Chain A
């Protein structure tokens, strides 16, 4: 599946959706600072990888997908949940890159310039996350091809499993 840039979604988002993200992001960043001051950097640091805006973002994805399906005259509950679930699967892959970001900052920051370390670590996060996503796409493509061959031999046998998998990689 090819990665595409589609800015049409920006027009559909409402002002309060941006405000919610800003407020959640700002609150968690401020809380991380307060917790670090109170309990030390070892505890405060945990919150640098806190899924801050995740529940809000997933709820917005569910709502958007549900509305889209309902405009098309379909029941949107299930596809709303699935869309948020697929987004969460992406976040799980991104969190592997997040761990690499943390290791680079932990190891390099005391010896190098902040801007250099943060730029390098962010690039490493992006490259690692995209590589994991690509790898998963390849594995899923192979699995789909295998199921497709199997269902050719046994019509209808694996159709349900195939549809679940297709839903996952959308």
Chain B
């Protein structure tokens, strides 16, 4: 599907990236703060999977590319969410039952997210 993309100069492209960075950072930080003040930890963890990046991205995407383009992004996001589920489940199991420290477990498990997300994309959308 083709989408109308205006001829963006390097300056407007840079502005767009900067705007996405600021809006994304602010929304993600807001949800993370909510997670910080809630107890117990398993409940606060729900906010680790808040749609923060999605909200920031969709607002900016609709204004530049339109609703149909943004809805196609949301369709793919479903596969990203499935991958997130398996990723978080694996990390949880490895950290509770295993002996490895957090950073290597969370970073190396990202390969599961990539495999699962792109696997779903390849099987369904490609």
A contact set with B: CB distance below 8 Å: 1, 3-7, 9-10, 13, 18, 21-30, 32-34, 36-37, 41-55, 57-59, 61-62, 77, 80-99, 101-103, 105-107, 109-110, 114, 118, 121-122, 125, 129-130, 133, 136, 164, 167-170
A1, A50, A94 — which one has the most chain B CB atoms within 10 A of its CB? A94
A41 engages B29 (CB within 8 Å): no
B66 to chain A, nearest CB (A): 9
A73 to chain B, nearest CB (A): 21
CA distance A130 to B41 in the complex (A): 13
CA distance A46 to B79 in the complex (A): 6
Interface of A is mostly: helix
Across chains A and B, the number of contacting residue pairs, with CB separation under 8 Å, is 341
Name the contact of B42 in the complex, choosing from A29, A87, A122, A164 (C-beta under 8 A). Answer: A87
- Which chain B residues (73-102) contact chain A, with CB distance < 8 Å? 73-85, 87-89, 91-96, 98-102
B83 engages A45 (CB within 8 Å): no
A95 engages B53 (CB within 8 Å): no
B93-119 interface mask toward A, CB cutoff 8 Å, 1 = contact, 0 = none?
Answer: 111101111110011001001000110
CA distance A45 to B81 in the complex (A): 10
A13, A41, A57, A99 — which one has the most chain B CB atoms within 10 A of its CB? A41
Q: Which residues of A contact B74 (CB under 8 A)?
A: 45, 48, 102-103, 105-106, 109
**B4 at the A interface (CB under 8 A):** no
CA distance A62 to B5 in the complex (A): 44
B73 engages A25 (CB within 8 Å): no
* Chain B residue at minimal CB-CB distance from A168: B96
Name the contact of B28 in the complex, choosing from A53, A82, A121, A168 (C-beta under 8 A). Answer: A53
